[in-house]
Structure 1
Amino acid sequence: MFLKRFKKIENPKKSFVIIHGLGEHSGRYKFLIDKLLDIDYQVITFDLPGHGLGEGKRGYIKDFYKIYEYIKEITPEKFILFGHSMGGLIALRYTEYSDKKPEKLILSSPAVGKLYAPAQKLLLNTIGIFGKLTINNGIDPKDLCHDDKAIKEYLEDPLVHNKIAFKTAKQLFSEAELALLEAENIDLPVLLQYGEIDKVISVENCNELAEKVRTVVLQKHKYAKHEIFNEPKYKNKYVSNILEFIEN
């Protein structure tokens, strides 16, 4: 994984860890990194295996549990954890699985719960032996947001791809179900933000997640798609919700 650390001052106020989503990379979160540096936070982020500047075949993550162990390894004793989409799933599952918990958890349009039809699961179980074989990840750029400029930048970004390996998809689906199942055990402050017309993840599953987590602060954005931070109508509110949550 390709690790990056940012700080403006020698002794930052707090540490904030960012986990990006499927097919993208950590560099797409500069808008948030800059805001956090302005309030004297340290930001730690990395590109997942098979993503961005991370090593490996595009779209292939061999073992999600190695990522959880990696997060534990690179984080200080106290930190805030943020994840978007698949990164939100990883952040949630890390928090459920690891004995080194974040102080606060921020989930942005997380991919949780059942994300497939029964026929898709049967197909994955049947062809999972092909492991690294990749297919299109199914994300339609038009479903990301209402901003044509942001979509164009996404499509032209050389570090963005549309691949996912069969083994990775199988793990992602399994972890997503487990994340929702164990969410009721979360006992720390959680900010959950998602758009109500998101077609990339399951809004219904996010609603269920909000009901399961007792300590949740819920922000639903009525006309937002998957990337609320790129929605002209909501992006400022999205960031201000995060800053308010971590500072209080």
Structure 2
Amino acid sequence: MYFESRGIRLHYRRWWVENALGVVVISHGLGEHSGRYRLHARYLNAHGYSVYALDHVGHGLSPGRRGDIEDFDHYSADLCRLIHLVRHENAGVPVHLLGHSMGGVIACASAINPVGDSSIASLVLSAPAFVGCSEPGVVEGALVRLLAKVYPSLSLSNRLDAQWISRDPEVVDAYINDELVHDRVTPRWFDGYQRARDCLLARPEDIKVPSLLLLPGSDRLVDSSASREWFDRLPGNVHQLHAFPDAYHELLNEPQAAEEAMALLVAHLNRFSESSSRGIPAQRAAAGS
């Protein structure tokens, strides 16, 4: 399915259930696409939730040069446009936003700066990519920033080693052999990403909606300590953190953790789907730390 944002036809997938308790909008990670969330969507369908998942520009079946974007804020603008569509198609039903890795950064930006009618009932983050484990050092970082000015569209490796996405070899093999998965970024993309995430890290108080952070403790692609520090600075008492010490980056695809993580996700959705319509107060909690 397609919708239009900024004059571009972007691809999204929809798994819809009748009389849904709520809707979950998924924002995927760097280099991947919405189709990798089919099983998660079916699980959520079975628990009463419809699911929409966007292919970010330059990803999946959406147009655009792989791993490149002129302005990182365009990602969140596109996501807000999809949320607007979701709200229109599901009037009166709570809409929740789930962001994984890079998609978590985009989801946070969308929650902080909603465009149009794109408000959400809650925010769920899986291994948000606030800080990568293989980011350039000081000298190399300066070079990347220079390239962002003189050769912004240069295609570079995204430095994501597929062996660390999951402990399940079938998940890794499927990722490596997926024709819609790519491993590229550009200096312009990286410069925009750093600016966006630095802004989010500096202003956790701007998160006004209830949030659930699902944190893999053995993540070798994203620095989980940066996410934990960010969580500790969130305002109010409506946030929860659940850590999984032995899990790799794709927590929702981890053999020993996925079932528990998905159950926690559904419990969170149930809680705030109810609270959005009944005014039930929520409390901050941290589990698995």
Report the TM-score range of the alignment, normalised by the length of the smaller protein.
over 0.9
User: What's the secondary structure of 2:256's corresponding residue?
Assistant: coil
1:195-235 Cα shifts (integer Å, max 9, x gaps): 11111111121111111113320011001110111211101
Q: What residue is the counterpart of 2:284 in the other structure? A: none
Listed as ranges, the matches of 1:136-155 within 5 Å are 136-155=157-176
Structure 2 match to 1:93: 109
- Tell me the secondary structure at the aligned position of residue 15 of structure 1: strand
Provide the secondary structure at the position in 1 that maps to 2:215: strand
Per-residue deviation, 1:113: 4.8
Matched, 1:82 2:102: no
Corresponding residue number in structure 2 for 1:8: 17
Verify the 8 A CA contact 2:217 2:248 in the aligned structure 1.
yes
Q: What is residue 242 of structure 1 aligned with on the other side? A: 265
In 2 relative to 1, CA 116–210 (structure 1 residues): closer, same or farther, beyond 3 Å?
A: farther
Give the corresponding residue for 1:35: 43
State the secondary structure of the residue aligned to 2:214: strand
Distance in 2 (CA, whole Å) between partners of 1:174 and 1:120 is 16
**SS in structure 1 of the partner of residue 266 of structure 2:** helix
Provide the C-alpha distance between the structure 1 equivalents of 2:17 and 2:141, rounded to a whole number of angstroms.
46
8 Å contact from structure 1 (residues 195, 223) kept in 2: yes
Letter of the 1:229 counterpart: L
Bigger Rg, which one: 2
What letter matches 1:8 in structure 2? V
Quick check: 2:162–2:172 contact (8 Å CA) kept in 1? Answer: yes
Matched with 1:46 is: 54
Q: Does 1:64 align with 2:85?
A: no
| Number of residue pairs the alignment of both structures matches | 247
**Aligned counterparts of 1:73 and 1:233: Cα–Cα separation in 2:** 35
Structure 1 residue 69: deviation in Å?
2.1
Q: State the distance in 2 between where 1:219 and 1:205 align.
A: 15
Pick from 115, 124, 132: which aligns with 1:106?
124
- Shift, 1:94, TM fit: 1.3
Question: Does the Cα contact within 8 Å between 2:67 and 2:184 map onto a contact in 1?
Answer: yes
Residue aligning to 1:25: 33
Q: Which residue of 2 aligns with 1:119?
A: 139
Q: CA deviation at 1:123?
A: 1.4
Superposed CA RMSD: 1.7
Query: 5 Å matches for 1:226-237?
Result: 226-237=249-260
Moved more, 148-157 or 62-71: 62-71
Contact 2:54–2:82 at 8 Å: present in 1 too?
Answer: no
Q: What amino acid maps onto 2:269 in structure 1? A: I
Distance 1:155 1:68 in 2: 27
2:155 is aligned to 134
Distance in 1 (CA, whole Å) between partners of 2:140 and 2:39 is: 36
1:113 and 1:177 in contact (8 A); partners too: no
* Identity in percent: 27
Deviations 1:90-121 (A, max 9, x none): 00111122264311000000011585532233
8 Å CA contact 2:131, 2:222 repeated in 1: no
Unaligned runs of 5+ in 2: 1-9, 272-289
1:23–1:162 contact (8 Å) kept in structure 2 = yes
Distance (Å, rounded) in 2 between the aligned partners of 1:62 and 1:237: 38
Corresponding letter in the other structure for 2:156:
I
Task: Give SS of 1:238's match.
Answer: helix
CA distance, structure 2, for counterparts of residue 145 and residue 39 of structure 1:
25
Structure 1 residues 22 and 105: alpha-carbon distance in aligned structure 2, compared to 1, 3 A threshold: same
Local SS of the residue matching 2:182: coil
Q: Distance in 2 between matches of 1:45 and 1:62?
A: 22
Q: Deviations over 1:158-182 (max 9, x none)?
A: 1111111111111111111111111
Letter in 1 for 2:44: L
